[in-house]
A and B are shown apart, each in its own frame.
Chain A
Amino acid sequence: MKRIWAALWLILLAAGLVGVYERLAQGHRVAGYTSNVPWGLWVALYMSLMGLSAGAFLLSNLAYVFNVKALRRVGRLGLLTALVSLIAALFAIWFDLGHMARFWKVFLRPNFASPMAWMVWLYTAYFVTLAGELWYAIRADLVRAADGDGIQARVARRLTFGNRDLTQQAMERDAHRVRLLGTIGVPLAIAFNAGSGVLFAVVEARPYWNSAVLPILFLVSALTTGGALLTFLVAFLTRDKGGETHRQTVAFLGRLTLGFLVLDLLLQVSELLVGLNTTVPGHGDAVRWMLAGPGWWSFWLVTVLAGAVVPIVMLTRRGASVSQMGTAGLLIAVSFVAVRLNIVVPGLVVPPLAGLPAAYVEPRLAFHYAPSAMEWLVALFIVIVGVGLFHLGRNVLPVAGENRREA
């Protein structure tokens, strides 16, 4: 079984690498976005991964900062998920840049009037906090794993950075620092996620985006997808599967996810109803495009069916099995890329000036968007690298199960 997964991973990685090669060799010439719909799949993927990161991080810190006991087993796995998602998200947006080699300019000459500059600085602060918190959460186990041979021990030795203190005092200090960094990280994660919503919401040129619900929706979507992914990961990838505690943890995560999902749907329906019934008809064009435009299926089949109806049924069924709840989680986490895509694209396909689409007609000025093969392959590469990093982290770092000192 392991071999099959490894082979599948390698095949998908190879396919993804084809996309990456195309992207690097051809630049944006093989992309599906246009001058008029300048953002697409990668921006949606980036938003999804950022949401996963923030969601997983916030839920982990329910255990570390808010002492929610039911999530104790999730803490470290959640932090690893958050870290890997963050790295993958940054990859997604990096590939999207017109000049990849200039990304550092955001650090050296930031314009703090731009929400985008704020995002980058918040991510950086979050990255450091998150990495620090994860390290303090696993340090004691790293020290324990450092004795012995094999790759895990060697990596563990490296990662202790010479701090091998296992006294009670040292471990209490670790726990304190985890809590401290979590306390710093929670507002950061909230800020950068709601901030991504702000990034869109401030663009008044796009009435569809220009809504104060958007930042809140981003935050709730983060919690929904973060919870959903953790439900899946805990259901299928924890080492001590089968026990009643395991089942309870998954069920708790599932219920949490369900709650967030319902709240998320409420916000989405609110946006949708307001959009459909605006007294200035033009402002509802984006919503109508989403419901009945060429990408109708991404809303009705992916978001409504696969992302809401099916998982809600699976999560609310009496006596739902662990694997059912886990599958529901995966469905939600993956299908939410469509939710993000349906925030980005409908906002852009509506021309800011009537008559503009016919004023000068060529493919790169089109007011519609479908991701190109290259874009899909690069997206696949990002996801597959994320999966690989997660697998590596899970096998090399002592993240599975709960912290021993908390047991």
Chain B
Amino acid sequence: MTALREARGGAGAVGTEAVGAASGNGVTSRRDLLRKAGVALAAVAVAEILETSEALSVVHAEALPGGSSAGAKPAVSVPAAPLASPGSEWRSNVLRMQDELAAALKKPLAERRWGMVIDRRKCVGCMSCTVACKAENGLPPGVVYRPVIEEEMGTYPAVGRRFTPRPCMQCENPPCVPVCPVHATYRQPDGVVVIDYEQCIGCRYCITACPYGARGFDFGEYYTTRTPEVQPYELSPSHEYGKKWVRKGERSPVGNARKCQFCLHRLNAGMLPACVTTCIGGATYFGDLKLAGSLVSEMIGQESASRLRDELGTRPAVYYLG
């Protein structure tokens, strides 16, 4: 890890040098600059990937039963200090959230309460989360777990835009659950509202009942239907709920209601939800709201924290800042 960090620092230095050379010294040719900068960026990128994957593998190992010696820590613990990472608040937050995730996974299901905090002041509206979620969960046309709502405020030149990513709120009192005629959707002890695809009859009552529009119906369509060939990525299995789902014919999840489940399959493997790891603005935080001192539990204590349509009494587990 240390070696990696050095490599990253070194690469960063090369980068700085290259930029410095460009600005201070006109002799350096443009091609040279680009080459140097390219190498520098590549080095940074490789170092980043390695570091992140190392962090992931550590968490992963801890999450697995009988995992590596990393599991020797006390059963429930909040890492004393986030792994230091000079210059990157977001990186330290990710590493901290991963460690907290590992800690939360060691607690019994009922003692966790997965929650999300979305800082709208940091969201740039790039929709990486939306796309990452589509890819992670293999979502067809008509199903989007995490659209980003855009608002424009004020008049030119005093104009502001606000972005509101809208995952499932994982309500404490979910209106979608009691309406299901067959108990196919329910709230897990950890607070995540799930759908049992094998039980869902596809009546779509739950879709009408959600005050956040957070549920969709799988019509069995593909994005590449009217192209020469349905692309393999649309037929490859998704891993929702830790099972393999191949969308083919009328097989579930085709014909079912579908919704965001905080990437439970990733959580259980020690990974953060796809929308969190892909957020370029570092605007989405995730963790166990019941874990004292966790990043998310700290953040929801801020006075600007709010929940969507809180007046309905649904008590979402998704909080917004700003």
Contacts and interface: CB of A to CB of B under 8 A. Distances in A.
B219 A31 contact: yes
A27 B182 contact: no
B141 interface: yes
Nearest to A105: B182
A48 B148 CA distance: 38
Interface in B164-184: 164, 166, 175, 178-184
A184 interface: no
A220 B220 CA distance: 39
B92 to A, nearest CB: 31
Nearest to B223: A362
A203 interface: yes
A362 B142 contact: yes
A99 B249 CA distance: 12
Given A111-B181, A203-B179, A353 B149 contact: yes
A29 B256 contact: no
Contacts of A98: 200-204, 217-218, 254-257
A105 B201 contact: yes
Q: Among A117, A204, A359, A362, find the residue whose CB has the most chain B CB atoms closer than 10 A.
A: A359
Interface string A201-219: 0111110000000000000
Which of A110, A116, A358, A360 gathers most chain B CB within 10 Å?
A360
Interface string A86-130: 000000000011110011011001110111110010000000000
A348 to B, nearest CB: 7
A168 B91 CA distance: 91
Contact of A38 (B147, B199, B204): B204
A27 B254 contact: yes
A97 B255 CA distance: 8
A358 B211 CA distance: 17
Given A359-B150, A359-B166, A99 B201 contact: yes
Nearest to A117: B181
A174 B257 CA distance: 48
- Residue of B175, B182, B216, B254 ringed by the most chain A CB atoms within 10 A: B182
B54 interface: no
Contact of B141 (A347, A351, A352, A364): A364
A351 B256 CA distance: 21
Contacts of A28: 217, 219-220, 255
B147 A352 contact: no
Interface of A is mostly: loop
B216 A35 contact: yes
B250 interface: yes
A31 B217 CA distance: 12
Interface in A114-162: 114-117, 120
Interface residues on B, range: 35 or more
Nearest to A359: B147
Nearest to B149: A355
A31 B175 CA distance: 26
B181 to A, nearest CB: 4
Contacts of A358: 149-150
Interface string A1-41: 00000000000000000000000000111010011101100
Interface centre among B164, B166, B250 (most CB of A within 10 A): B250
A197 to B, nearest CB: 14
A362 B207 contact: no
A353 B169 CA distance: 13
Contacts of A103: 201
B175 A205 contact: yes
Interface residues of A, number: 47
Interface string B193-225: 000000111111101111111011111110000
Q: Max chain B CB contacts within 10 Å: which of A27, A31, A206?
A: A27
B250 A27 contact: yes
Contact of B213 (A27, A36, A347): A36
A205 B149 contact: no
A276 B262 CA distance: 39
Given A29-B221, A359-B166, A360-B144, A114 B201 contact: no
Contacts of A293: none
Contacts of A110: 181-182
B210 A205 contact: yes
A356 interface: yes
Contacts of B181: 106, 110-111, 114, 116-117, 120
Nearest to B198: A102
A136 to B, nearest CB: 32
B203 to A, nearest CB: 6
A259 interface: no
B130 interface: yes
Contacts of A111: 178, 180-183
A355 B150 contact: yes
Contacts of A356: 147, 149, 166, 213
Contact of A35 (B164, B207, B312): B207
B318 interface: no
Given A99-B200, A204-B175, A362-B141, 4 more contacts: A35-B143, A99-B202, A358-B149, A360-B130
Interface of A: 27-29, 31, 34-36, 38-39, 96-99, 102-103, 105-106, 109-111, 113-117, 120, 199, 202-206, 347-348, 351-356, 358-360, 362-365
Question: 8 shortest A-B CB distances, which residue pairs?
Answer: A98-B202, A364-B142, A98-B255, A35-B216, A359-B147, A205-B211, A355-B149, A360-B147
18 contacts: A34-B217, A39-B208, A97-B255, A98-B200, A98-B203, A102-B182, A106-B201, A111-B180, A111-B181, A114-B205, A115-B179, A116-B179, A204-B312, A351-B213, A358-B150, A359-B147, A363-B141, A364-B142
